[in-house]
Amino acid sequence: MDLKRLKQLSEFAWQVNPSGDRTLPGIIYADSALIRGMDEKVCEQVINVTALPGLVRAVYAMPDAHWGYGFPIGGVAAFDPAQGGVISAGGVGFDIACGVRTLHTGLVPDDILAIRKQLADQIARDIPAGIGSRGKIHLNRKQMNAMLSGGARWAVEQNYGTPSDLGRIEENGQMAGADPACVSDHAKKRQQDEMGTLGSGNHYLEIQQVTEIFDAKIAAIFGIREGDIKISIHCGSRGLGHQIGTEFLKRMVIAAPRHGLKLTDRELACAPINSNLGQEYFGAMNAGINCALANRQILTHLIRQIFERLLPQAELTLLYDVAHNTCKRERHRINGKEKNLYVHRKGATRAFGPGHPDLPEDLRSAGQPVLIGGTMGTASYILAGSTGSEVKAFSSACHGAGRTMSRIKARKIWRGQQVIQELARSGIEVRSPSYRGVAEEAPGAYKDVSAVVDVTERAGLSKKVARLVPMVVIKG
């Protein structure tokens, strides 16, 4: 990125100056190495988002930011409905409520090592992964609408888990405001056989070992010790979420002139929050969030069944489940007053700080767990939300490493079979139905996740708690 376009505010914050009739800036959180490595389109997309009406404070980009559809991935923006604020399908993304769920196991590495290959094979057999993957669950229309309204709470009621799981999921496992009637029949049809599936792309299920603790006090509250075995599930709302995004983007583009919206980029298609179209999208998107929460809950049930057979001494309980592609209606203090805002986080994780009333009581003193995914051969991280992040980015943090190259370019550099063999030599068992998918997700196609997390902490967005490395990876 050309630094001449930016004003450096601090060692870890860079301002994109407003231009024309725009009055609010963009803020990119990065150190000098990360900012130089970001593609120019991140800056362009941040500038474009600042032109949307009803924006509050600024547009923010996380240290893992890279080019996306409309909004940059890693982008955060909040809009005030009382000031004509908008809601944007491009500001949420196609994989609605894609997120990470991390489970405790009560195991240590010696419990896993002897059966690591058997465990990898069994998970790959029992949990469908890949493009168009279908599970054993089929939902009829009534069941589909119940799932879209109930989220993980619905899944628990269907015996996919226990009520104690719900307290460790954002929104207690059920997103309010979901309206299944706003979800098309086509979207529902795409999802009717995809519950309990992992999907493709950067989605994964990993068995991980905690290799380093950075904050012993918070780690103890989270229930994390060095040497622990954890399981992390990274996936979202599958075909349903993608269809919701596709359909509403088209509708928003067509309706923009009617709402007096002049789009600098048609990918920024949006609608006034208080319009019928804006509220229909909000209802459909919240249903998509519930789909993702239910899907991760069912996957948790499936992985528990596998461990009951192969490692019956394991106790799989939730640390936390949080998404990173959402628009949430939240209360934030603006100029000394509490306001209801619609906070878009696209490739950015909600990161409430200590004391926030929406957090589980037993975690509240530490802040929200922020779950950061790695890239097969690298580390993942568990962070904790910080109080200062409220002012810096509406209580938001990064979500992963962030790509440095396209999937097409990655396929030209790496062969999937070769990547799997190299990772096996380093002690990581990878299973995937697609060599192509593995090549696209090669660790070298991403930024250094440790550098991203370090900047996230040093910029005051979240605190590092623990580092985890993969032992088994199931990829789509």
Backbone φ and ψ for 384, nearest 5 degrees, come out as -130, 135
Cα–Cα distance between 321 and 398 in angstroms, integer?
15
First CA to last CA across the chain, in angstroms? 32
Using CB atoms within 10 A of its CB, is residue 125 exposed (0-12), middle (13-18) or buried (19+)? exposed
SS3 358: coil
Backbone φ and ψ for 248, nearest 5 degrees, come out as -75, -30
Q: Residue-wise over 340-362: b if at least 16 C-beta within 10 A, else e?
A: ebbbbbbbbbbbbbbebeebbee
Cα–Cα distance between 225 and 183 in angstroms, integer?
43
Q: Which two tokens stand for residue 391?
A: 């002012």
Give the angle subtended at the CA of 436 by the CAs of 430 and 438, to the nearest 5°.
30
Q: Which two tokens stand for residue 190?
A: 């795409």
Contact 436, 416 (CB under 8 A): yes
Q: Return the closest-CA partner of residue 383 out of 334, 430, 320.
A: 320
Cα–Cα distance between 303 and 346 in angstroms, integer?
28
Please pick, among 66, 324, 344, 399, the residue that the annotation labels catalytic: 399
Region for residue 239 given its phi and psi (left: phi exceeds 0; alpha: psi -120 to 50; beta: otherwise): alpha
Sign of the dihedral through C-alpha 362, 364, 366, 372: positive
Q: How many CB atoms neighbour CB 21 within 10 A?
A: 6
Cα–Cα distance between 180 and 283 in angstroms, integer?
7
Return the residue matching tokens 């991203």.
452
The CA-atom distances, in angstroms, between 103 and each of 66, 67, 294, 319, 385 are 29, 31, 16, 5, 19
Region for residue 408 given its phi and psi (left: phi exceeds 0; alpha: psi -120 to 50; beta: otherwise): alpha
Q: Is 399 a catalytic residue?
A: yes
Identify any residues that bridge with 100 across adjacent strands, giving them in sequence order.
Answer: 234, 322
Backbone φ and ψ for 96, nearest 5 degrees, come out as -60, 130
Contact 462, 385 (CB under 8 A): yes
Pairing label, strands 73-79, 86-88: unpaired
Q: Name 140's Cβ contacts closer than 8 Å, sequence gap at least 6.
A: 192
Q: Which residues are catalytic?
A: 399
